[in-house]
Copies of this chain bind each other. A is one copy, B any other.
Amino acid sequence: MSKKVKIEADGSTEEKIKTAANIVFTKKGFSGTRTRDIAEEAGINLALLNYYFRSKEKLFDIVMMENIQQFLMGIKGVLNNQELSLTEKISLVAENYINLLREQPDMPLFILSEIKANPEKLATNMNVREILLKSHFYEQLRRALNDKVNPLHFIVNIISLTVFPFVASPLLKVVGELKQEDFDKMVEERKKMIPVWIEAMLKVH
């Protein structure tokens, strides 16, 4: 008498809808997305979407939460690893993020846009704060800066240098006349350079 008996092989309908929703939402944002687009992308009928998830907003919240989760999980392990030096951590964070963003380049602009439109939804998710500011990494950063500069500046700097090129990629491609291939090459170069740059920035304080 259980509600879910069928063992879904690979892509259950529910999963297909979530995947499709992720694609469309991250590309067009919440208000730019029509539920019909998601249905089409998933290859299902519109009514199914409301059958599985009660509304567009519920579906959105799920997709959004999974995105933020994914964005944080990629570094959570690194930041509290007691074995790694500050420099090693920065290298790993930059590399992990660039790898993630090359696969999901629309993710950061999507997250930032929707958090701005609805900051209170994130406020619930306060563990973001814990992960970043109560980490071993943050402590290493604080020491390296000798309490002369707010370490938050460097959290911002690392994320800026890593993430911003993806947020600004359409602009960057036009300005630099870059093809996707050239853009990929650039962000690949940045994997090595960002840690060196951050190192240099730390030293001037």
The chain A residues found within 8 Å of chain B, CB to CB, are 28-32, 106, 109, 112-113, 115-117, 119, 122-123, 126, 128-129, 132-133, 149-150, 152-153, 155-157, 159-161, 163-165, 167-177, 186, 189-190, 193, 196-197, 199-201, 203-204
Q: List 11 A-B contacts (CB under 8 A).
A: A29-B31, A30-B32, A32-B32, A123-B174, A128-B171, A132-B175, A149-B193, A152-B176, A156-B164, A159-B164, A160-B168
Q: Take A133-B176, A156-B172 as given contacts and tell me if A29 and B164 are in contact as well, using a CB distance cutoff of 8 Å.
A: no
Copies of this chain, complex-wide, total 2
In whole Å, how far is A115's beta carbon from the nearest beta carbon of chain B?
5
Cβ contact of A113, chosen from B109, B119, B190, cutoff 8 A: B109
How far does the Cβ of A31 sit from chain B's closest Cβ, in whole Å? 4
Residue of B nearest to A202 (CB): B200
Instruction: List the B side residues contacting A150 at CB < 8 Å.
Output: 186, 189
